[in-house]
Structure 1
């Protein structure tokens, strides 16, 4: 790859990373091209060298934001070697995760948008749901019951973080995280 092609690829990657963080925080409808390009250190005029449309950028950024979660979930499960499911629960339902939507799980921030989104966004969201379900079910015995428990666990994790971010009362926000974590741990 030539020098200018490498620079172009690096610039495109930088725009995608900025946009992935922004869609986690603001959703898919808010980030504007001019702001994204400025934050990436590029001019608005250079946008079309990298993407054919804003929709293309947002779809790719959402897919990137979603896919980045797998490695984090795997690391979280490895934190507690004796009880990997507890490690995953503790990490996912941590205040730090709630308070950092820009780097947090995109399943939380993109769920509603994916439900209303185009087929590409739905497929990217589904792919990540399936990856998390496989990971969580794999922490069990691999049975059909383990798969059903994985669905319940993932739904509770995502729902608890979403609601804890959405409520105004800090005590309720904290309780959503701690009480759901307590209940999920009881299932082990």
Structure 2
């Protein structure tokens, strides 16, 4: 196995998600190391979320979440998205293992934690620039997730992975609507 340069790997993941994810999956990260990597990314997301609130303070009267809140949300995101995309991928004849999908979601969370920081830094320059960063960043994160999932599930195309993401979000929204109406929560 050749030595992998982290900077080149991150650049490859950012520019060619499928190729980069193949390199990451070929590393064979599994078991405890995968769980530790998920914990590391979750903690880094918590730290990054706290730093963002320091750079761009929240409005008066709004309670800023603590770093542990960010960590819990990030860890929950990794676990739930791994399970959802594993089973959803199986329905479209994806062949990825649970570890492969977890690695894809951990890599995506790693990129996802950078967007709020970039937006906060852009907001110190110009609110318009931060809005433009958001408009560019969200579709880019969707593109990354589609590439990561396509490679992790060994799907024919990235478009199939994009449709998988849209389908999971649609079903998840229906489930949330069901539970909200079940508990009688009605908008004011």
Per the shorter chain, which TM-score range?
A: 0.3 to 0.5
TM-score (norm 1): 0.33
Greater relative contact order (Cα < 8 A, sep 6+): 2
TM-score (norm 2): 0.33
